[in-house]
Amino acid sequence: MISDQLKAWRDEAHQHLTTELLPFWENRCVDTVNGGFITHFDTDGNDSGEDEKSLIAQTRTVYTFSAAHRAGYGEGRYAEIARHGVDFLITKMWDAEHEGFYWLMDRKGNVKIDEKIVYGHSFAIYSLAEYTLATGDARGLHYAEKVFDLLQKHGADTYFGGYFEMFHRNWDLKGAGSAGGDRKTLDAHMHLMEAFTTLYEASGKQVHRRKLLEIIELLVHKIMHPVHGTGIPQFWADWSVAPQIKFDIIWGWDRFSEDGFKSSAEDNTSYGHNVEFAWLLMHALDIAGVPYSQYETQLLKSLDHAVQYGIDWEHGGVYVEGSHDGTVYDREKEFWQQAEVLIGMLDAYRVCGKSDYLNAYESTHRFVFDKMIKHQVGEWLPLLTRQGEPIWKHMSHSWKVNYHSVRSMVQGIIRLDKLIQIES
């Protein structure tokens, strides 16, 4: 019976991925005039016209098509689309004078924001390393390693550990407060773990493995809550907890009050981030050759907190965030949390075999396929009410592109195939 249910979920995911989701992007995103990708689409999937190409959206789209090609989709077409994106990154977004990638361009490739943001550079490493793994084109790994080296030179905090995140074009650290120069975040460091994992997979270099293991230790012992094992969003340079604020040019702009602070700014955690961290950690340990048992306590805390408090067992799906000790603050349903929980709960069930994890997957799967996917267009809605009514209706912008949705389906199918084999 479990095997039949796994096969049904797998078929549903494969159908969505191959007939809706990947075609949505393949048929829309390639900018044949200016290079790179168009990444802003309205609720009907039409180009909404924003004159920008962001580092985060360009790199994530390179990752999406590289990973889809590596997983066996697209019959070679996706490798060519990824190459098209890499060409734009290298020829337009790379700063030849100070090195690193600019944060924001217009559609033609003129610089709009020249700052160097570590969050974006983490995705440059991740996508370019994935591109080389997928295609064999050495340019990807070459630039991924260059970015890695830049982060060690300019970004690494050799006193307190970790990385500063917000820099001017010449890699001078930005100022305090909303400029972000005095803060460190879970978000950036988790994505650096993700990036260093794929970089080491592509390069095999011990320096990349050492830095991967170093950032894992930092995440587990500094960034995750010492009691609950849940992610703390923002810190001061010395890793003392900082109130979560809105930064000037970067993520989170749409989830804050007008004064730039979050409610419960020092006691909030994202269920989606916690599960994403858990499965990314398991993947990192696989690539590094480290047993899960070394971090078993952390993994179980991250996963079990989400199952206990984050899953909406009445309406399906996963909530946005709550307190570390379990109070739910935000019961809306955002696209990326659902995507990461789908992957994470399959990994959790594969490793631990607990039915709670498979039930959490089922709850989220049904909510996504019945409520969040706009099947007639092909992509996912970005934000829904608890019950599943759309709040935001666009299909894509710089912060809501293809990385979470496509990766969720590609990686979910891989995990479902493994589970089907085990259960058969």
Q: What is the pLDDT of residues 126-161, one digit of tens each?
A: 999 999 999 999 999 999 999 999 999 999 999 999
Task: Give the chain's count of helices (H) and strands (E).
Answer: 13, 13
Residue 319 lies in a domain: yes
Q: Which residue has the higher pLDDT, 248 or 123?
A: 123
pLDDT in tens, 1-52: 799 999 999 999 999 999 999 999 999 999 999 999 999 999 999 999 999 9
Look at residue 424 in the predicted model and tell me its pLDDT. 82
What's the mean pLDDT in 173-202?
97
pLDDT in tens, 279-334: 999 999 999 999 999 999 999 999 999 999 999 999 999 999 999 999 999 999 99
Q: Is the pLDDT of residue 252 over 90?
A: no
Residue 417 lies in a domain: no
What's the mean pLDDT in 160-181?
97
Residue 379 lies in a domain: no
Is the CB of residue 341 less than 8 Å from the CB of residue 360? yes
**Euclidean distance between CA atoms 415 and 396, whole angstroms:** 26
Two structure tokens written together for 403: 């990385």
Mean pLDDT across the chain: 95
Residue 253, Ramachandran bin (φ over 0: left; ψ between -120 and 50: alpha; else beta):
alpha
Residue 27 lies in a domain: no
* In the block, residue with structure tokens 């994530």: 60
Residue 223 lies in a domain: yes
Look at residue 67 in the predicted model and tell me its pLDDT. 98
- CATH code: domain of residue 149: 1.50.10.10
Q: b/e for 284-313, b at 16 or more Cβ within 10 A?
A: bbeebebeeeebeebbbbbbbbbbebbbbe
Q: Is the pLDDT of residue 251 over 60?
A: no
SS3 284: helix
Look at residue 255 in the predicted model and tell me its pLDDT. 53
End-to-end Cα distance, the chain: 10
* In the block, residue with structure tokens 């997983």: 71
What's the mean pLDDT in 93-122?
98
Q: Which residues contact 333 (CB under 8 A, 6 or more apart)?
A: 312, 317, 318, 319, 320, 367, 371, 372, 383, 384, 385, 386, 388
Percent of the chain with pLDDT over 70: 96
Rg of the chain, C-alpha, whole Å: 20
Bridge partners (DSSP) listed for residue 328: 322
Look at residue 11 in the predicted model and tell me its pLDDT. 98
Residue 415 lies in a domain: no
Look at residue 259 in the predicted model and tell me its pLDDT. 47
SS3 166: strand
Residue 278 lies in domain: 55-249+259-359
What's the mean pLDDT in 381-399?
96
Is the CB of residue 358 less than 8 Å from the CB of residue 423? no
Report the 10 Å Cβ neighbour count for 97: 6
SS3 409: helix
Q: Is the pLDDT of residue 423 over 80?
A: yes
Please, where are the H alpha helices in 35-157?
A: 55-70, 77-88, 118-135, 138-150
Is the CB of residue 30 less than 8 Å from the CB of residue 37? yes
Q: Is the pLDDT of residue 253 over 50?
A: no
Bridge partners (DSSP) listed for residue 116: 167
Provide the residue count of the chain: 424
Residue 50 lies in a domain: no
Residue 23 lies in a domain: no
Give the number of domains in the chain.
1
Is the CB of residue 390 less than 8 Å from the CB of residue 13? no
pLDDT in tens, 263-272: 566 789 999 9
- CA dist list (Å): 131 to 52, 123, 174, 205: 23, 12, 31, 17
- CA dist list (Å): 324 to 267, 310, 385: 6, 11, 22
**Euclidean distance between CA atoms 59 and 103, whole angstroms:** 11
pTM of the model: 0.97
Q: Is the pLDDT of residue 123 over 90?
A: yes
**Euclidean distance between CA atoms 168 and 113, whole angstroms:** 10
